[in-house]
Amino acid sequence: MSETIILVDKQDNQIGTIEKLPAHEQAVLHRAFSLYIFNKKGELLIQKRNRDKYHSGTLWSNTCCSHPRHKEGMQNAIHRRLEEEFGIDTEMNEIFSTIYKCKFDNGLSEHEYLHVFIGYYDGEVNPSPTETEDYKWIKPKELLEGIKNNPEKYSYWLKDCIDRVLKFVK
CB-based burial, 67-101: b 16+ in 10 Å, e otherwise: bbbeeeeeeebbbebbeebbebeeebeebeeeeee
Q: Which of 69, 57, 73 is nearest to 134 (CA)?
A: 57
List of E strands, the chain: 4-8, 14-19, 30-38, 44-49, 60-61, 64-66, 92-103, 109-120, 132-138
**Which are the catalytic amino acids?**
65, 112
